[in-house]
Amino acid sequence: MAQKMLQKILIVGNGGREYSIGLRLKKDAQKNRSKDNENLTLFFAPGNAGTKHLGINVALSKNQDLVAFCQKEQIDFVIIGPEAPLVEGLSDELREQGFCVFGPSQKAAQLEGSKAFMKDFVSRHNIPTARYIQTSDKAKAIDFALSLPLPVVIKASGLCAGKGVIIAQTYDEVKQTICDMLSGESFGDSGKCVVIEEFLSGYELSVFGICDGKDFVLLPPCQDHKQLYNNDKGPNTGGMGAYAPTPLCDEALLQDIADLIFEPTLRGMAQEGNPFCGVLFAGIMVVQENNQKKPYLLEFNVRFGDPECEVLMPLLQTPLLEICKAVESQTIKQLPIQFAKEYCVGVVLASHNYPFGHSTPYPITIQSYDENLGEVVFGGVSEDKQGRLLASGGRVMLAVGYAKSLPQARENAYKILEAIEFEGRIYRDDIANKAL
Ligand code: AMP
Ligand code: GLY
């Protein structure tokens, strides 16, 4: 009798992104589109109260504990969700022990871990990006900043959980921000080297490439909604909603993004001995120049974006595990990755004081909803002693709608959202409006 293949997958992380990756793998297995997915067991480290229903949560976060867990459980594949373990070298430690990993090496992860590394890399390879300097010298930073028109963009070089970018509106604010960052006051050591850059005016896109070190395949282009309130008002957040594919990126623009940004990046990283394997996120500003749209690179992330991942996973038709394996075996070009001819809209439900601090955990109720409209994704959720689901802070959940048209997908997302209740929930009601 042929033996069934047992697949044990470990997903590192605890947010909506990791939930949606797990849900994709489960759905692939149910559809039985991939033999590899038979007898799938998912582990999440540490996961959340939602991922518990997709697999087994393990309360581990240190690299050495994760490696030991993989050895003990004989894990077949590890998918690393967030940037911090990548920047700390988890992929390398796992690969050294012979594990298959979806996630770039520590050196390649510098594209996100150090804005200074990223800016120097892209300027060495003539990738379009805002004019900048990077320095730890206060006088140099201020001199360059004062030479730019207002507003001026000031970035802490190290990882700051998406908060290390200040757009200063006056030269007084410019000087104060530079002093606060370089003294370590605002972002600790992450701000002791700063990147000062010119402000680019246009609209933003999130474009993801699945990269195997030499080749890449772009996923449907997305748009995130970073500000807390409608019409892009209020403080920056990790993202309050996303949708894909966005009609604001046509074929020609996507091809330019491939040619001007992804191709030279993959080539340059390989040439410099740091081939990029995993998913590369390019934050793009589309600037109108001489009646043409030109993409400029704002930032790289070395992982799926959150909430972009949650709207990309439902569009994937090729089993996710096959994609991860093609990255590991450097055969991404041979894999015809297919996407549903649909649109997907995800609306974040956050706790009342997101993004400023922690909230009292409030119980969540979810009324039944039509599962043909979309799905619910769990992020900042926990459980009380009775097993009741609680909104434990931050970005709690996502209502994800899909449909053949963008307006319908949007409507479906908001219908699902209406089924979710918890005290103090906040959300934007204009997700995807820019495209309609
Ligand atoms: P980053 O982490 O570098 O992507 O920056 C966070 C956000 O700040 C971006 O999503 C943009 O909205 C904004 N931003 C960053 N750099 C620039 C720039 N040079 N011009 C205009 N906006 C920027
Ligand atoms: N949504 C952007 C990010 O994940 O950083």
**Positive/negative CA dihedral, 77, 83, 84, 88:** positive
CA-nearest of 24, 18, 1, 152 to 82 is 18
CATH number at residue 83: 3.40.50.20
Tell me, yes or no, whether 57 lies in a domain: yes
Instruction: Kindly indicate the confidence band of residue 189, based on its pLDDT and cuts at 50, 70 and 90.
Output: confident
Question: Residue 2 is which amino acid?
Answer: A
Counting ligands in written order, which one lies closest to the CA of residue 13? 2
Rounded to the nearest angstrom, the distance between the alpha carbon of 13 and the centre of ligand 2 is 14
Rounded to the nearest angstrom, the distance between the alpha carbon of 238 and the centre of ligand 2 is 5
Q: Which of 159, 306, 310 maximizes ligand 2 atoms within 8 Å of its Cβ, making it the mutation to test the pocket? A: 306
Instruction: Kindly indicate the confidence band of residue 116, based on its pLDDT and cuts at 50, 70 and 90.
Output: confident
Counting ligands in written order, which one lies closest to the CA of residue 303? 2
Rounded to the nearest angstrom, the distance between the alpha carbon of 410 and the centre of ligand 1 is 26
Q: Whose CA is nearest to atom 9 of ligand 1?
A: 298
The neighbour count for residue 372, using CB atoms within 10 Å, is 8
Per-residue pLDDT at 12 exceeds 70? yes
Question: Residue 98 is which amino acid?
Answer: G
CA-nearest of 195, 172, 199, 194 to 183 is 194
* Contacts (Cβ under 8 Å, ≥6 apart) of 177: 154, 166, 168, 186
Domain-ending residue, one of 196, 212, 234? 196
CA-nearest of 215, 218, 183 to 330 is 215
Tell me, yes or no, whether 201 lies in a domain: no
Q: Which domain holds residue 188?
A: 130-196
Three-state secondary structure call for residue 64? helix
Mean pLDDT value across residues 406-419: 98
More confident residue, 155 or 18: 18
- Assess whether the C-beta atom of 92 lies below 6 angstroms from ligand 2: no
What is the pLDDT, as a whole number, of residue 2? 44
One domain, residues 101 and 44: yes
> Model's pTM, two decimal places?
0.94
One domain, residues 17 and 98: yes
One domain, residues 93 and 136: no
What is the pLDDT, as a whole number, of residue 162? 58
Three-state secondary structure call for residue 65? helix
CB 243 within 8 A of CB 346: yes
- Assess whether the C-beta atom of 306 lies below 6 angstroms from ligand 2: yes
Max CA separation in the chain (angstroms): 75
Q: Which of 167, 181, 204, 222 maximizes ligand 1 atoms within 8 Å of its Cβ, making it the mutation to test the pocket? A: 167
Three-state secondary structure call for residue 153? strand
- Assess whether the C-beta atom of 305 lies below 6 angstroms from ligand 2: yes
CATH number at residue 174: 3.30.1490.20
One domain, residues 150 and 96: no
Mean pLDDT value across residues 386-410: 96
Number of domains in the chain: 2
Rounded to the nearest angstrom, the distance between the alpha carbon of 106 and the centre of ligand 1 is 24
Mean pLDDT value across residues 366-381: 97
One domain, residues 101 and 135: no
Tell me, yes or no, whether 262 lies in a domain: no
Task: State the alpha helices, DSSP H only, in 371-435.
Answer: 406-418
Burial of residue 183 (number of CB atoms within 10 Å: 0-12, 13-18, 19+):
exposed
Question: Residue 435 is which amino acid?
Answer: A
Please list every protein residue whose CB sits less than 6 Å from any atom of ligand 1: 130, 153, 155, 165, 197, 199-200, 204, 226, 283, 285, 298-299
Rounded to the nearest angstrom, the distance between the alpha carbon of 305 and the centre of ligand 2 is 4
Could you identify the atom of ligand 1 that is nearest to the CA of residue 155? Answer: 3
